[in-house]
């Protein structure tokens, strides 16, 4: 069977992250949503996404296909149920469609003629931006079990201190961990291959340090945090998801936040994640084109791909920064910074597309990765698509 992950109605709620990638490329826990499905189903999945993203994220269609809502976080039981779907069947959870079977020769899919298979158990879904960090605590635990089952961790050297059970700490081959305090009493700690945890770091699980990531000396990493592949982090971080390839290498606080790829935090940048009056935090909602209550009292920053924060930048609770923006200056900038913006509290101007593309190439080069023509066309499309927000 061929499985395809489709961007459902939640896609606009997840902007700015889904400007540059399909929903299934969002990282929650150790793995992206797509990687979770591939582990559980034992095959490679492809995408149904926005047309301008298709060159980088294509769909592969077979004679028989099962389409899965990419916002759903899979479980073993759900993957098994989906694998049994057959012609003219769809899997539902209450009124939400989870998956459906479709053959290549179907001219259209008429769901009224489909047999409904009900999935009884509650399922975690990424419906809003804040779900990414809110669900990360449990997602780390689930992915840890999936990735480490019947496997043995690399031994830690005696320079490290483990608080809790050693079975809740898993180190992949090539990771360098010395003089680190690891507390696994509340949840597991997963350190991927070739990661470097420098001396004096304090790690409190459940947390993830991704492949080839670097944790700087004396860093304090708290529960519910995922440091994605190739990231460099330091300072104080709590309940944050870094998708990958981003840097927060210096002191400064970041909590209850989501950081896209190719982002950079200047030294001593700090993010507020709680209002002084302890009320619910409002967040810019692209689908509603307005600020909406997040329903949360702890909510920090949502930083789109290729965006940067200058040295000593102060970020307010519930701030949303779009794709390829450069935010700097004294005082708190606006809580919504459109894509391709340059400036801060005093003024915002448009980030020239040629300069933005050149800087994106440099950021990728710093991580020894390539910014290619597909990436360029995606950013050029987003630049045009988001122009109204900058006017």
Question: Model confidence over 55-89: pLDDT tens digits?
Answer: 999 999 999 999 999 999 999 999 999 999 999 99
Cα 251 from chain centre: 22
Tell me the H-state helices in the chain.
Answer: 33-41, 76-83, 129-134, 136-148, 353-366, 373-385
Q: How many residues does the chain have?
A: 391
Nearest to 78 by CA among 50, 134, 36: 36
The pLDDT of residue 108 is 78
| First-residue to last-residue Cα distance in the chain | 47
The pLDDT of residue 105 is 77
Pairing of strands 348-350, 341-343: antiparallel
The pLDDT of residue 252 is 97
| The domain made up of 2-127 is a member of CATH 3.90.550.10 | yes
Structure tokens that stand for 2 in this block: 């061929």
Residues 273, 290 contacting (CB under 8 angstroms): no
Q: Which residue has the tokens 């399909």?
A: 22
d(CA 138, CA 206): 8
The pLDDT of residue 191 is 98
Phi, psi (degrees; rounded to nearest 5) at 17: -65, -35
DSSP 8-state symbol, 114: S
The pLDDT of residue 245 is 98
The pLDDT of residue 112 is 87
pTM of the model as a whole? 0.96
d(CA 208, CA 387): 36
Structure tokens that stand for 240 in this block: 């944050």
What lies within 8 Å, CB to CB, of 276 at 6+ separation is: none
Tell me which CATH homologous superfamily contains domain 139-390: Hexapeptide repeat proteins (2.160.10.10)
Phi, psi (degrees; rounded to nearest 5) at 56: -90, -30
d(CA 348, CA 334): 10
Q: What is the mean pLDDT of each run of 10 residues along the chain (391 residues)?
A: 94 98 98 98 97 97 95 96 94 94 82 92 96 98 97 97 97 98 98 98 98 98 98 98 98 98 97 95 96 97 98 97 96 96 92 96 94 97 97 84
Domain positions in the chain: 2-127, 139-390
Per-residue pLDDT tens over the stretch 290-348: 999 999 999 999 999 999 999 999 999 999 999 999 999 989 999 999 999 999 988 89
Q: Which residue has the tokens 């305090």?
A: 181
The pLDDT of residue 385 is 97
């Amino acid at each position: 069977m061929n499985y395809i992950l489709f961007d459902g109605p939640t896609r606009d709620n997840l902007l700015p992250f889904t400007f540059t990638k399909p929903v299934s490329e969002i990282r929650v826990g150790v793995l992206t949503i797509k990687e979770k499905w591939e582990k559980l189903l034992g095959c490679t999945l492809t995408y149904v996404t926005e047309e301008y993203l298709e060159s980088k994220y294509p769909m592969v269609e077979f004679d028989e296909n099962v389409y899965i809502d990419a916002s759903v976080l899979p479980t073993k039981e759900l993957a098994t149920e989906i694998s049994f779907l057959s012609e003219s069947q769809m899997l539902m959870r209450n009124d939400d469609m989870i998956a459906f079977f479709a053959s290549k020769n179907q001219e259209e899919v008429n769901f009224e003629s489909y047999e409904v298979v009900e999935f009884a158990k509650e399922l975690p879904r990424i419906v809003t931006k804040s779900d990414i960090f809110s669900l990360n605590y449990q997602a780390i635990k689930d992915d840890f079990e999936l990735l480490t089952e019947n496997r043995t961790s690399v031994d830690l050297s005696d320079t490290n201190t483990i608080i809790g059970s050693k079975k809740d700490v898993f180190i992949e081959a090539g990771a360098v961990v010395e003089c680190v305090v690891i507390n696994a009493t509340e949840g597991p700690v997963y350190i991927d291959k070739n990661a470097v945890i420098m001396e004096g770091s304090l790690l409190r699980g459940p947390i993830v340090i991704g492949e080839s990531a670097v944790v700087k000396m004396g860093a304090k990493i708290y529960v519910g945090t995922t440091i994605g592949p190739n990231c460099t982090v330091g300072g104080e971080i709590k309940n944050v998801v870094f998708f990958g390839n981003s840097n927060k290498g210096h002191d400064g606080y970041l909590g209850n936040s989501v950081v896209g790829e190719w982002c950079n935090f200047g030294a001593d940048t700090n993010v507020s994640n709680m209002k002084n009056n302890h009320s619910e935090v409002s967040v810019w909602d692209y689908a509603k084109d307005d600020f909406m209550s997040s329903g949360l009292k702890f909510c920090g920053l949502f930083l789109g791909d290729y965006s940067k924060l200058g040295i000593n930048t102060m970020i307010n609770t519930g701030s949303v920064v779009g794709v390829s923006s450069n935010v700097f200056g004294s005082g708190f900038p606006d809580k919504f910074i459109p894509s391709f913006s340059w400036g801060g509290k005093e003024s915002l101007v448009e980030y020239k597309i040629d300069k933005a593309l050149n800087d994106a190439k440099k950021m990728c080069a710093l991580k020894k990765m390539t910014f290619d023509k597909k990436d360029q066309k995606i950013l050029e499309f987003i630049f045009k698509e988001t122009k109204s927000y900058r006017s």
